[in-house]
Amino acid sequence: MREVLPGAKRVAVLANPQHPGDQGERRASQVAAAALGMSLAYFEARNAAELVDALAAIERSGSDAVVMFPVQNVINNRERIAAWSIKNRLPAVSGWAQFVEGGNLMSYGPSLRAASRRLAVYVDRILKGARPADLPVELPTQVELVVNLKTAGALGLTIPQSVLLRAQRVIE
Check which CATH number belongs to the domain holding 68 and give it.
3.40.50.2300
Instruction: Kindly state whether residue 89 falls inside one of the protein's structural domains.
Output: yes
146-172: b (≥16 Cβ within 10 Å) or e: bbbbebbebbebebeeebeeebeebee
* 96 within a domain of the structure (yes/no): yes
Residue 139: per-residue pLDDT: 84
The tally of domains found in the chain comes to 1
Classify residue 112: in a domain, yes or no: yes
Q: Quick check: is 4 in a domain?
A: no
Residue numbers of the domain that contains 161: 10-171
* E strand map for the chain: 10-15, 39-44, 65-68, 92-94, 106-110, 143-148, 169-171
- 3-state SS, residue 92: strand
pLDDT for 22 equals 87
**Does 1 fall in a domain?**
no
* pLDDT lower than 70: segments of the chain: none
Identify the pLDDT of residue 164.
Answer: 97
Residue 150 lies in a domain: yes
**38-67 pLDDT, tens digit each:** 999 999 999 989 999 999 999 999 999 999
Does residue 5 lie within any of the structural domains? no
| 134 part of a folded domain | yes
